[in-house]
Amino acid sequence: MRRVRYESTGGPLFLEEAPVPEPGAGELLVRCEAVGVTLPVVRKVTEAAEPIPLGGEIAGEVVAVGEGVTRFRAGDRVTGLCFGHGYAGFALLHEALASPVPDGATPVDAVALVRAGLVALGALAAARPVAGEAVLVTAAASGVGHLAVQLARARGAGRVVGAVSDPAKADFVRSLGADDCIRYGDDSWGEPVDCVLDAVGGDLLTPALAALAPHGRLVAYSSGGGTIQAYDLLVGAKSVIGFQMALIARGRPELYEQWRQELWRLFTDGTLKPAVHGEFALEDAAKAHEVIETRANLGKVVLRP
């Protein structure tokens, strides 16, 4: 099979021939039909001390199952998060991280919706919004952010604001249901909001926190780091909440499954519409990474093995 790999930090991505892996206990062997490109993986290529397998969201057909697998069999259509080599013709997916793809949904729909949607829905739930409150979403045109904008509206937000790096993305963000769209460098982020869902971190944490009304909540789910001054929390009785999807998947599988079902229901009834910026062949994986690195994407970036 064909697989994408790299050999040194920041080094070029290249295609290689590799044997089709064998599923171990609790694993599914999936013929990959779509692979979601994520910012954490792109960052690891440029920042990790040692080369890592290029994993991420995959979707396709189960071709074999390992010992102990009970929920799936060959021929099933699944999607899930692969921690091994996912930029490949075939990949291994642990049964606990797999979910069925319903009839009427394509593999591209699945990788654009499920993992990114779970993060968006989880971050929104962590903010504990009350119907009618105002929600601001940073990285609002990203794979996660563009779903968070729609989910905030679907769950009853009174006002939804998107924040982006480039004003050229504003029309796209408004088309998702946002009432307004601001740029990170703007002097003012407009009227204060009750919740901020932040996928950027770093220096953006300070203006994101300043955008909150008194008693507002900022949910940080970025891998970008950053520092917040305690005084900025005290003066407005504001809160910062960390959110990580892996903790939910491992510790609260029933909630994880509830959220997955909600995403597919909203997709099926047309409330939630995942956007795909572009589909790239495996040999063009570097171009797909460049789209993410330059923050040029409007929605999800997908590889088609």
pLDDT greater than 80 at residue 166 = yes
Token pair of 214, please? 């008194």
Write the pLDDT tens digit of every residue in 176-234: 999 999 999 998 899 999 999 999 999 999 999 999 999 999 999 987 788 888 888 99
Boundaries of domain holding 125 = 117-246
Quick check: 92 pLDDT over 80? Answer: yes
pLDDT for residue 108: 97
Whole-number mean pLDDT of the chain? 94
Pair type for strands 159-164 and 134-138 = parallel
Judge if 133 and 230 occupy the same domain: yes
Q: Identify whether 242 is part of a domain.
A: yes
Same domain, 54 and 93: yes
Residue at 162 is within a domain? yes
Boundary of a domain, candidates 199, 226, 246: 246
pLDDT the model gives residue 225? 82
Between 97 and 157, the higher pLDDT residue: 157
The H-or-E segment that residue 286 falls in is helix 285-293
Side chain identity at residue 61, one-letter code = E
Average pLDDT over residues 150-163: 97
Find out whether 213 and 159 touch, Cβ atoms under 8 Å: no
Let me know whether 44 and 97 are in one domain.
Answer: yes
Q: Which segment of 23-37, 58-72, 235-249 scores lowest on mean pLDDT?
A: 235-249
Residue 93 lies in a domain: yes
Summarised one tens digit per residue, pLDDT across range 107-127 is: 999 999 999 999 999 999 999
Residue 234 domain-assigned? yes
63 shares a domain with 39? yes
3 state SS of 94: strand
CATH number, residue 175: 3.40.50.720
Together in a domain, 137 and 194 = yes
Looking at the structure, do residues 132 and 235 belong to the same domain, yes or no? yes
Chain centroid to CA 12: how far?
24
Cα 87 to Cα 42, 69, 235: the distances in Å are 12, 23, 47
**What tokens appear for 86 in the block?**
């996912």
Q: Are residues 67 and 157 in the same domain?
A: no
**241 and 297 both lie in a single domain:** no
What number is the average pLDDT over the span 154-173?
A: 96
Q: 266 in a domain, yes or no?
A: no
Mention every residue, 6+ apart, whose C-beta is less than 8 A from residue 174: 162, 180, 181
Which residues, at least 6 apart from 130, have a Cβ–Cβ distance to it below 8 Å? 194
Cβ atoms 125, 148 nearer than 8 A: no
Q: Is residue 263 part of a domain?
A: no
pLDDT at 73: 97
Domain count, the chain: 2
Q: Which of 285, 278, 270 is nearest to 299 (CA)?
A: 278
Residues 93 and 127 in one domain: no
145 and 59 together in one domain: no
Residue 213 and residue 124 in one domain: yes
Pairing state between β 90-94 and 212-220: unpaired
Count the helices and strands in the chain (H runs, E runs): 9, 15
d(CA 211, CA 206): 9
CA distance 136 to 125: 14
Supply the CATH number for residue 91's domain: 3.90.180.10
Token pair 């229901």 in the structure block, residue: 265
Asked if 28 and 69 touch (Cβ cutoff 8 Å), the reply is yes
Question: What is the model's pLDDT at position 194?
Answer: 98
What average pLDDT does this structure show over 250-267? 91
Residue 106 lies in a domain: no
Q: In this predicted model, what pLDDT tens digit does every residue of 36-62 receive, in sequence order?
A: 999 889 988 988 888 999 998 999 999
Q: At how many degrees (to 10) do helices 39-47 and 285-293 cross? A: 100
Same domain as 176, residue 66? no
